[in-house]
């Protein structure tokens, strides 16, 4: 990489920021990661990594660490939340890997975050600066100035020729680019908890991802922590939004929703699980989504409802495309950033819309739900998988180009 290549400042050491830092550092670019937190703890919850995301992490050399920590469920089992009837099955595991060329993993967020952090800490081109909250960004030609507040209350200013705002849904970089919109609350909350596998109801046992569909709500579960824990996510209508991310939930809310489920699930409300609650928001990507040497990535650019389990995956995809466009235009950062944004806009909007639509289908009431169940029960596992080919078959540009030129 030429000497004049500007170092990068990545704001936010979440999934998107860490993946971006790793990819840019591997290209020989110096990267400073600014993270507002001083301790990088992740919520006690799981995350699904579909092949479109896992292939980027595999290309980063993280497969051995991921294979040690993640679980590869054999299948997705869809059931009715109120009757327990099995509605459909979709193969995951080896079928998914064979079809899309990369694994479908489920993993505890803390494990994913730790292995990304370990990789970043082992990278000489990455400098991690924690306890640094970016409070403002101004653009002056091909330079950006960042106002930073330290955990101790001091103010710092930094200048950079490349800034990536990967600071999540409540991004401070996004409004600094002139986007005054706030994420839109979509009337749902997600309650999450983990339960030791040995204490989980029989219906949740086995190496599966479970999806239970009910009127106005659904529940997902899958094993994490090498199968020691089962991660549970309950999504249901919620009147108001909670401002705090990862707040402690009111057990009465969980019990009220679970009361409509089969006894095995409703009994979860009687267990002393540490339920946490997330209000669910999304927001179409800003236009423009970047300015001069500044761009956005992941939830900062396009927060997405979790009904397709794709927010983290999109952030990882963004990172791969950004690294590719910067490699193509190493000395013209604004041109590379605009190319990245143009490439990502349609995909992000498509996934956001598909996630909203998935929520609508998951939460249907009778009689529409009866039609849905009938259609699902007639689909083979292969046919179910084929419906997601547009999503899981995504490849980073470098890989796609190499495959096409070899053909």
Ligand X SMILES: Cc1cc2nc3c(=O)[nH]c(=O)nc-3n(C[C@H](O)[C@H](O)[C@H](O)COP(=O)(O)OP(=O)(O)OC[C@H]3O[C@@H](n4cnc5c(N)ncnc54)[C@H](O)[C@@H]3O)c2cc1C
The residues that touch ligand X, with contacts defined as CB under 6 A, are: 11-17, 34-37, 47-48, 133-134, 166-168, 172, 190, 192, 233, 278, 298-300, 306, 309-313, 315
Q: Which entry of 222, 362, 388, 392 is annotated as an active-site residue?
A: 222
- Min dist CB 67 to ligand X, Å, is 18
- Min dist CB 150 to ligand X, Å, is 11
Q: Using the minimum distance from each CB to ligand X, give the nearer residue, 60 or 373.
A: 60
Asked about 185 being catalytic, the answer comes back as: no
Burial 172-197 (b: 16+ CB within 10 A, else e): bbbebbebeeebeebebbbbbbbbeb
- Min dist CB 12 to ligand X, Å, is 3
Q: Using the minimum distance from each CB to ligand X, give the nearer residue, 51 or 312.
A: 312
Cα 393–Cα 395–Cα 400 angle in degrees, nearest 5: 120
Neighbours of 99 (CB within 10 A): 18
- Min dist CB 37 to ligand X, Å, is 5
CB under 8 A, 24+ apart: contacts of 351-355: 351/302, 351/304, 351/308, 351/310, 351/314, 351/391, 352/282, 352/284, 352/302, 352/304, 352/305, 354/308, 354/391, 355/282, 355/304, 355/305, 355/306, 355/307, 355/308, 355/310
Q: Using the minimum distance from each CB to ligand X, give the nearer residue, 21 or 269.
A: 21
Phi, psi angle pair for 91, to nearest 5°: -70, 140
Phi, psi angle pair for 17, to nearest 5°: -65, -40
Q: Using the minimum distance from each CB to ligand X, give the nearer residue, 168 or 286.
A: 168
- Min dist CB 44 to ligand X, Å, is 12
Q: Using the minimum distance from each CB to ligand X, give the nearer residue, 144 or 190.
A: 190
Cα 296–Cα 335–Cα 398 angle in degrees, nearest 5: 80
Catalytic site positions: 222
């Amino acid at each position: 990489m030429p000497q004049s290549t500007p170092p990068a400042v990545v704001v936010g050491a979440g999934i998107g920021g860490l993946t971006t830092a790793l990819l840019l550092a591997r290209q020989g670019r110096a990267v400073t990661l600014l993270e507002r937190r001083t301790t990088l703890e992740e919520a006690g919850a799981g995350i699904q990594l579909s092949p479109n995301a896992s292939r980027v992490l595999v290309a980063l050399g993280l497969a051995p660490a991921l294979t040690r920590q993640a679980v590869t469920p054999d299948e997705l089992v869809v059931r009715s939340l109120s009757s327990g009837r099995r509605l459909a099955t979709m193969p995951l595991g080896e079928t998914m890997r064979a079809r899309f060329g990369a694994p479908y993993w489920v993993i505890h967020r803390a494990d994913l975050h730790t292995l990304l952090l370990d990789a970043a800490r082992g990278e000489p081109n990455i400098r991690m600066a924690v306890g640094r909250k970016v409070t403002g960004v101004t653009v002056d030609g091909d330079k950006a100035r960042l106002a930073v507040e330290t955990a101790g209350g001091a103010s710092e200013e930094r200048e950079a020729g490349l800034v990536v705002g990967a600071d999540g849904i409540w991004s401070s970089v996004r409004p600094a680019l002139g986007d005054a919109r706030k994420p839109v609350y979509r009337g749902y909350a997600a309650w999450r908890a983990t339960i030791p596998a040995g204490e989980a109801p029989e219906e949740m046992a086995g190496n599966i991802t479970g999806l239970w569909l009910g009127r106005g709500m659904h529940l997902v579960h899958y094993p994490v922590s090498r199968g020691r824990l089962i991660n549970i996510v309950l999504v249901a209508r919620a009147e108001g939004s909670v401002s705090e991310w990862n707040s402690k939930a009111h057990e009465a809310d969980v019990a009220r929703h679970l009361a409509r489920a089969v006894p095995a699930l409703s009994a979860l409300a009687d267990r002393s699980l540490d339920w946490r609650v997330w209000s669910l928001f999304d927001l179409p990507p800003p236009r423009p989504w970047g300015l001069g040497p500044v761009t956005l990535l992941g939830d900062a650019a396009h927060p997405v409802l979790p009904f397709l389990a794709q927010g983290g995956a999109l952030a990882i995809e963004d990172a791969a495309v950004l690294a590719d466009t910067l490699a193509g235009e190493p000395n013209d950062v604004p041109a590379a950033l605009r190319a990245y944004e143009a490439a990502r806009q349609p995909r992000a909007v498509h996934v956001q819309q598909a996630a909203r639509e998935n929520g609508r289908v998951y939460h249907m009431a009778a009689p529409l739900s009866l039609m849905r169940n009938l259609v699902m029960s007639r689909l083979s596992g292969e046919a179910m998988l084929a419906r997601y080919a547009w999503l899981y078959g995504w490849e980073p540009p470098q890989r796609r180009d190499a495959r096409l030129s070899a053909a």
